[in-house]
Structure 1
């Protein structure tokens, strides 16, 4: 007896569903799991868990914050890169700041809201990538006892950027400035403490502070390099976050910069810390991919095991 066409069609669909369910829902996952359990892959498949004292304390793939209850970095630990993942290294909120090299102009805070006791963030302040890097470099410099200045940054740690306003030539260059404004230095609301721009004049025109609400978009943005060293003492990875916000690695240069502080906090010699850094240093993947790096999480765990913090 020949079944009706619509029944044969539905039976064929059911058979295809069952076959694909077995292949993609059972066979394939089991094959992947079996391969992941092979020696050399097992630990990675299980999250690259790092143990200390017989208990899991971290993943070698995800950074952590080594701070106290107030969020201040602990001197006895190496610090990782800044993180834009949640409040820092949040695996459920992996992501970057999404700020690029053209992010040089801050969004100023509303002085009226600041006068009400609001925080700068709640008052609308948003730092550009440049100002974020400038400010973080000063913080790291103070923490490590080195010069935290960087090119295109003011001594106060904001982006040294001018808005040059005036007639332009055919290439868009301002030929005879009418006004020059330091756009990341907002004018003070306290007349007794006026804002002093990082430079007094530009091409013979006095530099002004930025008035809240004023429109300077008709000006040409001109970053000012300043007299900071060409190669800053604070490495770039110390002041910029990774694309995922979860990277546990830092450059060997940043690790070396922190060695003296960590050694002093633990009461040991810098040479002892240097040996641990060398033991945890990883080269380029396959010899040519990426850059040399140091895993901060693994390094700090080994530090605690070898040289516990004095009580």
Structure 2
């Protein structure tokens, strides 16, 4: 008995579904997993690093060594609270993010909800550069950053909106720590990173004021064109989990780590060179240093004294 055409078609489709389910849903994954376990066991299992029988991390994931001066520091992370593999992400802030969101001075910024403040990408870079400079004993200044470590950005108000005489100038990222609530003007004990702009005194920003009509004007300042603090020390990677830093950032940290471990800087410099990987295939990417692997070798060769 010959089956109707529509039934034959459905049976053929069911057979095809069964065959491809077995091939692509069971056999192929098992083959790939088997090859991974047989030929690439370490990579297939997360490139886990163990020391003295304990898992200390993965060579593929960055981790924090903050407040440990005897270790090389990783680059910043925007993944969760930092280096969280379950929240891998970037800050999603672009080059036009130069103006901070001011927080309510009447609310404790450490409270559960916070005070509403939010740093721009520029201020994040400036603050990190200042902090790294202080930690490593170098000049942490950068173009378009104030000495206090925020974005050096002025808001210009002109008579004609976009043209005309400047009537008011505000340092948008420097909030007044105290001000007269009646006049909403900063008190005399506060001062901006620059006293005046084209002859107009510069005011500090006041929470609650509307600066949306201001012409945003970044000020370069007199910082060197090539900062002492390299770029990867002040910016996070796209994943927030980058385990590497640049050789320049590693070299910047040599003196601090050498002092903390009581080791000659030349020995650590050689160690950094040994753990610097070149470009992939000789032309892709940049040379890099794996921070976790370097710090583990540090503990083996030059353990911290005391």
TM-score by length of 1: 0.90
Is residue 293 of structure 1 aligned with residue 282 of structure 2? no
Residues in 2 aligned to 1:303 and 1:98: alpha-carbon distance in whole angstroms: 35
Output aligned runs, 1:90-101, within 5 Å: 90-101=84-95
Structure 1 residue runs without a partner (length 5+) = 68-72
Residues in 2 aligned to 1:118 and 1:52: alpha-carbon distance in whole angstroms: 37
Cα drift, residue 51 of structure 1: 2.2
Is residue 85 of structure 1 aligned with residue 117 of structure 2? no
Counterpart position of 2:184? none
Is residue 221 of structure 1 aligned with residue 216 of structure 2? yes
Change (3 A) 1:122 1:135: same
Cα drift, residue 30 of structure 1: 2.4
Counterpart position of 1:36? 36
Counterpart position of 1:112? 106
Counterpart position of 2:170? 181
Output aligned runs, 1:141-152, within 5 Å: 141-152=133-144
Change (3 A) 1:32 1:168: farther
Counterpart position of 1:70? none
Residues in 2 aligned to 1:205 and 1:126: alpha-carbon distance in whole angstroms: 28
Structure 2 residue runs without a partner (length 5+) = 181-186
SS in 2 for 1:297: helix
SS in 2 for 1:112: coil
Counterpart position of 1:102? 96
Kept in 2: contact 1:109–1:120 (CA 8 A): no
Cα drift, residue 263 of structure 1: 1.1
**CA offsets per residue over residues 139-168 of structure 1, 9 Å max, x none?**
111111111111111111110000111146
Residues in 1 aligned to 2:211 and 2:54: alpha-carbon distance in whole angstroms: 57
Cα drift, residue 6 of structure 1: 4.7
Kept in 2: contact 1:81–1:239 (CA 8 A): yes
Is residue 125 of structure 1 aligned with residue 117 of structure 2? yes
**CA offsets per residue over residues 25-84 of structure 1, 9 Å max, x none?**
122212322442454x332222112222244321110011113xxxxx201100000100
Cα drift, residue 215 of structure 1: 1.4
SS in 2 for 1:155: coil
Residues in 1 aligned to 2:125 and 2:294: alpha-carbon distance in whole angstroms: 25
Output aligned runs, 1:14-29, within 5 Å: 14-29=14-29
Is residue 258 of structure 1 aligned with residue 253 of structure 2? yes
Q: State which of 190, 196, 200 in structure 1 corresponds to 2:191.
A: 196
Is residue 164 of structure 1 aligned with residue 159 of structure 2? no
Q: State which of 275, 284, 298 in structure 1 corresponds to 2:270.
A: 275
CA RMSD of aligned residues (A): 2.0
Residues in 2 aligned to 1:248 and 1:35: alpha-carbon distance in whole angstroms: 26
Cα drift, residue 13 of structure 1: 2.7
Residues in 1 aligned to 2:116 and 2:19: alpha-carbon distance in whole angstroms: 57
Counterpart position of 1:47? 46
Number of matched pairs? 300
Is residue 302 of structure 1 aligned with residue 291 of structure 2? no
Residues in 2 aligned to 1:230 and 1:26: alpha-carbon distance in whole angstroms: 57
**CA offsets per residue over residues 111-134 of structure 1, 9 Å max, x none?**
2224xx755970101000001111
Cα drift, residue 218 of structure 1: 1.4
Out of 48-57 and 122-131, give the one that drifted further.
Answer: 48-57
